[in-house]
């Protein structure tokens, strides 16, 4: 009996040793990965969006400054669209020009602007992009409104274009601008989903809450062939997603795609959350209408994870104008919504925030969901971390220097 027992003990010890050793090796590998947390802040609420981006070697806690050695100061610091270890944004650092720019972080933590694809610089939505993989991506350039531009994210260079003018062009009187992919570009199961917009406005206002029809249209394009397969539409809404770095759509863990529509005007009205199921190419018969939640409100954020929707909901009707509350008033509350029951639950212990605008209001960081909060009246400007139950949040860190936070992301320096 003793022998097998001893043998078992020895095996266990050996296994434990190996296990511990492996863990140690893994830890060492982790330590040599050179991961950094990159934070972006906007120093002024002006159109050029000046601000700062800094890299931190450890996860920020407490009160931090976002301006230090190696910090990049520039324009277009209102948000970004990270992809794996890349930080992309739709406005360049040197002059807030529209396009696709990549930020790089050196091994010494110096942030700088990398490559840049230039697009039309006057029409909002120019530079709206989506990345399929490390060598394939798609974007819209207002200089070629009926086309989808293709690019290589690794070289950050344009590689070609698809022309869909014959597929989408309409001649209705009153349509003053038309586009494909100006607001919404998403890749799902080998298909490119691109919004088709028919708008009433001209020039820089083109595509800005000016839907000509009573609903929205999305083209489904086969990426492998470039074939324009079909148009799907959803009525009684408008303003699909938006035209800056916060792309306002999110894939659930199971592949379901949730899409924000901001509604019929800049201050809402028929603003909805829509869904395309994982293996579908048509809109699901499912919606959440902001009008049922807050009259005069709208959706501006969505993040979906493990079957739970995370979003912001205003506490009062939105207003514009000199004293309008939409952007800089602390009126945005954080909620979870069960997509099946549509029951929404307010997240506790987190203050009301200003509008996150081009920044992600809700995102994942180190496997946790973090929430961007800018509440000057409460001296809060940073991120909160959601508890595992999804019911309450605690402050992760506060930024005291650099302006209002507009992004945090972890990358591994290659």
Partner 1 sequence: MQYKILHTFLLLTGVVGLNETVHAQNKDTSKVQVLENVVIEAKSASQRTAEQNVKISVVNTREVQEQAATLTELINRSPGIRIRQSGGLGSGTDISVNGFQGKAIRYLKDGIPVDYLRDGFNIASLPLNTLERVEIYKGVLPISIGTDALGGAVNLVSRRSANQQLSTSYEIASFNTHRYTLNGYYTDDAKKWFASVDFFYNYSDNDYKAKVKVTDPVTSNQQYDRVRLFHNAFNNVYGEVSGGVTNRKWADELKISVTAFNLNREQNYPALMTDPYGAVKGKQSSIVPTLRYKKSFFNNKLFIDQFLVHNVVNVQRIDTLSGRYDWYGNFYPVPGRIGESRQAALSDIDYTNTTSRTFIKYQLNANHVIEINNVYTDLQQKGTDPYGPKLDGTGTSIISIPAGYKKLVTGIGLSSKFLDGAFETLVMFKNYHYQSSGIEAWQSRIITENDQVKQSGNNFGVGGAIKYNIHKYSFVRFSAELANRLPDQEEIFGDALWTVPNFSLKPERSLNINLGYRLSNEKNNSFEVNAFYRRTEDLILLIPIQAPYAQYQNIENVKGFGMEADGVYHFSKVLSANANFTWQDIRLFNINSSTDQWQNNARLRNTPYFFANAGLNAKFQHLFKQNDALKLYSYYSFVREYYLETIPKRLEPGGFLGLFGKSTVNTELIIPDQHFLSAGINYAPLRNLLTMGFEVKNILNKDLYDNYRVQKAGRSFHFKVVYTIQSKNK
- In the window 321-350, what residues touch partner 1 (CB under 8 A)? 321-322, 324, 326-327
Q: Binding partner 1 by CB under 8 A: which of 93, 182, 261, 262?
A: 93
Considering beta carbons, is residue 70 or 390 the nearer one to partner 1? Answer: 70
In the bound state with partner 1, the residue whose beta carbon lies nearer, of 250 and 381, is 381
Q: d(Cα 373, Cα 355) in Å, to the nearest integer?
A: 9
Among 76, 82, 99, 407, binds partner 1 (CB under 8 A): 99
Q: Judge whether 15 and 22 are in contact, CB under 8 Å.
A: no
Among 12, 13, 20, 95, binds partner 1 (CB under 8 A): 95
Q: Which of 60, 74, 76, 238 binds partner 1 (CB under 8 A)?
A: 74
Piece in contact with partner 1 (CB under 8 A), picked from 245-253, 308-316, 329-337, 399-407:
399-407
Q: Which of 25, 320, 349, 412 binds partner 1 (CB under 8 A)?
A: 320
Tell the smallest beta-carbon distance from residue 249 to partner 1 (Å).
20
Q: Which is nearer to partner 1, 40 or 257 (CB)?
A: 40
Between 121 and 387, CB nearer to partner 1: 121
Please state the closest distance from residue 25 (CB atom) to partner 1, in A.
36
Query: Token pair for residue 184?
Result: 């919404």
Q: Which of residues 173-232 bind partner 1 (CB under 8 A)?
A: 176-178, 202-205, 208
Pair 229, 215: CB distance under 8 Å: no
Which residue, 325 or 363, has its beta carbon nearer to partner 1? 325
Q: How far is the CB of 155 from partner 1 (least distance, A)?
A: 8
> C-beta of 408: minimal distance to partner 1 in Å?
16
Task: Please state, as a whole number, how many other Cβ atoms lie within 10 Å of the Cβ of residue 264.
Answer: 19
Contact 293, 284 (CB under 8 A): no
Q: How big is the site for partner 1, counted in residues (CB under 8 A)?
A: 75
Beta bridge partners of 35: 412
Contact residues for 384 (Cβ-Cβ < 8 A; gap 6+): 350, 370, 371, 373, 393, 394, 395, 396
DSSP string, 314-350: ESS----STT--TTTSS-EEEEEE-TTT--EEEPBS-
Tokens 């942030």 -> residue: 111
Footprint of partner 1 on residues 355-384 (CB under 8 A)? 374, 376, 378-381
Kindly give the pairing relationship between strand 393-401 and strand 62-65: parallel
Q: How many C-beta atoms lie closer than 10 Å to residue 4's C-beta?
A: 8
Reading the block at residue 286, the tokens are: 């499912």
d(CA 203, CA 206): 5
Instruction: Select the residue interacting with partner 1 from 402, 407, 408, 409 (CB under 8 A).
Output: 402
Interacting residues with partner 1 between 24 and 53 (CB under 8 A): 43-47, 50, 52
Return the number of the residue (261 or 381) whose C-beta is nearest partner 1.
381
Residue list 103-132, contact with partner 1 (CB under 8 A):
110-113, 115-122, 124
d(CA 75, CA 91): 8
Q: How does DSSP assign 250-308, residue by residue?
A: EE-TTS-EEEEE--SBTTBSS-EEEEE-TT-SS--S-EEEGGGTSTT------EEETTE
Nearer to partner 1, 120 or 271 (CB): 120
Q: Which is nearer to partner 1, 73 or 136 (CB)?
A: 73
């Amino acid at each position: 009996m003793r022998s097998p027992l001893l043998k078992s003990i020895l095996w266990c010890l050996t296994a434990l040793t190996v296990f511990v050793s492996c863990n140690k090796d893994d830890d060492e590998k982790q330590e040599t990965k050179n991961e950094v947390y990159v934070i972006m802040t906007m120093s002024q609420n002006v159109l050029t969006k000046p601000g700062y981006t800094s890299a931190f070697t450890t996860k920020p806690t407490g009160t931090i400054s976002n301006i230090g050695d190696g910090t990049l100061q520039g324009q277009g610091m209102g948000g970004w669209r990270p992809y794996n270890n890349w930080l992309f944004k739709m406005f360049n650092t040197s002059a807030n020009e529209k396009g696709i720019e990549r930020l790089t972080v050196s091994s010494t933590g110096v942030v700088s602007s990398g490559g840049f694809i230039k697009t039309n610089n006057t029409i909002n939505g120019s530079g709206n992009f989506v990345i399929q993989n490390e060598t394939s991506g798609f974007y819209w350039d207002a200089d070629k409104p009926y086309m989808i531009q293709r690019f290589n994210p690794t070289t950050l260079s344009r590689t070609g274009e698809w022309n869909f003018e014959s597929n989408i062009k309409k001649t209705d009187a009153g349509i003053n601008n038309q586009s494909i992919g100006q607001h919404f570009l998403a890749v799902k199961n080998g298909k490119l989903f691109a919004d088709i917009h028919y708008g009433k406005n001209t020039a820089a206002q083109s595509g800005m809450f000016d839907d000509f029809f009573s609903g929205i249209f999305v083209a489904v394009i086969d990426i492998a062939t470039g074939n324009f397969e079909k148009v799907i539409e959803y009525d009684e809404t408008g303003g699909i997603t938006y035209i800056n770095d916060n792309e306002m759509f999110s894939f659930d863990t199971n592949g379901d795609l949730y899409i924000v529509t901001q509604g019929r005007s800049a201050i809402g009205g028929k603003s909805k959350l829509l869904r395309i199921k994982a293996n579908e190419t048509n809109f699901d018969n499912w919606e959440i209408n902001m009008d049922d939640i807050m009259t005069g409100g709208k959706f501006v954020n969505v993040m979906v994870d493990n079957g739970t929707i995370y979003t912001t909901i205003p506490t009062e009707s939105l207003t514009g104008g000199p004293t309008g509350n939409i952007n800089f008033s602390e009126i945005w509350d954080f909620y979870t919504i069960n997509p099946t029951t549509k029951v929404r639950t307010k997240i506790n212990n987190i203050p009301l925030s200003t509008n996150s605008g081009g920044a992600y209001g809700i995102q994942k960081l180190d496997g946790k969901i973090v929430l961007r909060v800018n509440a000057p009246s409460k001296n809060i400007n940073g991120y909160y971390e959601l508890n595992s139950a999804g019911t309450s949040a605690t402050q992760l860190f506060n930024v005291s220097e650099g302006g209002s936070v507009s992004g945090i992301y972890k990358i591994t320096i290659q």
